[in-house]
Structure 1
């Protein structure tokens, strides 16, 4: 039934220009005409190309292909086509109701994000993953962790081992680690995850520390968690509450000469890093809550969530340990760490931890790209964190770049993001697998989500 409806949508759509409804190319080509291609496997723009998509794959890219008679032709002259982005630290509501889950997936898709990794999952997310894969639910390619490993859920080493086995058997893609694990509970989790081939991702518990996390071979360390603590002398003499979230209260004392050793450790173990710098630059920045409360993307969040986020921001800036200088030092040392990862060959992956304090799903990913550039990455390097780098991480060589044979997860922009990273926001349409989602359709879907 879903397949039949998709086909009906496709044949009802206009032959040229932007259709008002999603269009499937299961039985016909979708052709991007006269488009500038940003392939992402190299830093270049292929100008005035014709890109033909068929059955979820890119068929050809050249300058002289004549569209088939029944093709949907998208007039993309002067626009830019690039691979869709991946958001590798996403959150989807862990509830029984699919409605709010679908809303979050729409926010990601409408922002050009064609793959997400959900970082706090449950059995409902396994069901959602299958609905996305079958096409019953429209959403990005969906990977999910299971219920989190934390000080609350793992009280003993035996329970940690048991949880790894349970989540592997259930079919989760990764293990989500939260704070609170100890030197007693962590080793069993790490050993069993390696034995069963399911990667650990997320936080580094204070009692464990980043060096043990590196030795254990995390699949990805997110938030730069444990990095600041690793480069501040004397951290081992402090209690966790004295250091602050991600080392906020001690970052001013960081010794930058310790950074190269940290980068070498990450590189040698091939550990990916998801910075979620948007959390630092917004929630944990020196700016007051008033700097963010009128952001236009707030309209997609409920009033109580907005209130909670602003309260969290105010709690941070009103903490007795807070000072503008310390907050600036925290943001700046994280920028240095991000740039050191880039220069040192540590694979960075795009992720911003939304919905989380001041970060609206999808929209926050564009903020994150800007923050990566602010840290010293070029726009191309920043874009790689959400395309080529993720393709390598997921072992999907047919994704993350535009070339014949690759999957057709694409985003069409009106301006070149290689010239200005802010141009990632100029979305004219998104291609997810076999479906083309033009701007009018995306705008209509976003309108449905607006909270009043």
Structure 2
């Protein structure tokens, strides 16, 4: 079976390589007359020339010399910015390559040049290598291993063994899911520190956000545990009573408790991936499943998946504890948390949990950016979460910015996202690690990815 999977992956890699991309390792690529949004600071550099060679940005300026055989892209009236990152992605953890490939292409077509895959699978390690080498078209991949949860970890010994196994396998980090006991959590943390293995994701209810932050989570995702920690009677609250991410009780959150929580998170260097899209689409009463399924991007998901998403929303809203007015207050509490993270200097990273409930890969980041702005961030601050902040998180100062020496992960837009973040949806071309994918190829690719 393993050899067959490797063969499938090789075949699909060859098919992907046939797509009409230009590689800056073989031919210099030049943007002329372009407005550059460098994301090193809030500005637009008008009428610039940008040179790309060997996967890197080599020069930026008003008038530059370049190779006579270069691919020249006249981008007059367009805006060039760093590619976006989806920091809570889900490459399908299955034994089939095609679903994985489709998800990667959807991300790429939407200007997503980096993903952090939050539910790993052995094949993801091969995908990561083949994307980096250029054999497979897609965003650069950072991947967790299979998740740690109450179901997958029953003893401290199992916890220790799984940490060491994932480190040895070469995964980038470990994904935490709910249900981990305090004893097993401490075994995970101890071994992770010994192995220098980052961990991130959900906060188990029995562990709580305070201990999770102190233990050194790389990221806390979904604002998990934060709303619960703001509850006046946390000591008597049950996980079932609270609901997912505090859905059923968040309207009673004590905002006065937030500063202390965020200080602990910041002091321990933990980043936050809000995934506000989940709350605004899945949990909110403001949109029905039917309305969400009518959005144009839903055509890229198969009917079985869409039916499952609809059931998830309908089942949530049918829960006796679900009160629409209270849920709207809960969502507003989440917006306050996001706004205060920004104000108090807690690092924010862009993520929408795609493909999950009503989040279509790539397309959902436009919604997430919009919700960050609605929470109180400026367009520039929202864009930082998916660009320059990514470089800071990974400690790579050449990632998520446009400057000489930076990685050539870029997206060309028709409109200025500093005026309206929805402009990230006006993609005219994408550069993935120095490989240029023009709009004509993106359109052809998306046509082939339609599933219903």
TM-score, scaled to structure 2: 0.95
Distance in 2 between the 1:236 and 1:113 partners? 41
Partner of 1:13: none
Residue 358 (str. 1) matches residue 336 (str. 2): no
Please, which runs of 5 or more residues in structure 2 have no aligned partner? 1-9
Q: How far apart, CA to CA, are the structure 2 residues paired with 1:443 and 1:28? A: 23
Q: What residue is the counterpart of 2:289 in the other structure?
A: 289
Q: Which residue of 1 aligns with 2:412?
A: 412
Match status 1:266 vs 2:265: yes
- The residue number in structure 1 matching 2:302 is 302
CA distance in 2: counterparts of 1:269 and 1:328, whole angstroms: 31
Task: Look up the match of 1:212.
Answer: 211
1:157 paired with 2:122, answer no
CA distance in 1, matches of 2:277, 2:120: 22
Structure 1 unaligned blocks of 5 or more: 10-19
* CA offset digits 1:161-206 (Å, max 9, x no partner): 1111111111100010000101111001011111211111000000
Question: What is the match of residue 382 of structure 2?
Answer: 382
5 Å matches for 1:52-131? 52-131=51-130
Report the equivalent of 1:403.
403
Q: Residues 118-157 of structure 1, C-alpha deviation per residue, up to 9 Å, x if partnerless?
A: 0000211111111112211111000100011001110011
CA shift for structure 1 position 434: 2.5
Query: Whole-Å Cα distance in 1 between the matches of residues 180 and 26 of structure 2?
Result: 52
Following TM superposition, the consecutive aligned residue runs of length 4 or more in structure 1 with deviations greater than 4 angstroms are none
3-state SS of paired residue (1:292): helix
Q: CA RMSD in A?
A: 1.5
CA distance in 1 between counterparts of 2:201 and 2:47 reads 42
**SS of the residue 2:107 aligns to:** helix
Partners of 2:277 and 2:296 lie apart in 1 by 16
SS in 1 for 2:73: strand
Q: Distance in 1 between matches of 2:337 and 2:433?
A: 35
Contact 2:407–2:434 under 8 Å retained in 1: no
What displacement does 1:413 show?
0.3
Whole-angstrom distance in 2 between the partners of 1:311 and 1:393 = 36
Alignment check: 8 A CA contact 1:279 1:353 kept: yes
Equivalent-residue separation in structure 1 for 2:265 and 2:183 (angstroms): 23
| TM-aligned CA deviation for residue 236 of structure 1 | 1.9
Structure 1 Cα separation of the partners of residues 373 and 196 of structure 2: 34
Corresponding position of 2:39: 40
2:313 is the alignment partner of 1:313: yes
Scaled by the length of structure 1, the TM-score of the pair is 0.95
8 A Cα contact 1:67 1:73, kept in partner: no
* Alpha-carbon offset, residue 59 of structure 1: 1.0
* Structure 2 match to 1:31: 30
SS at match of 2:293: coil
Partner-residue secondary structure (3-state), 1:185: helix
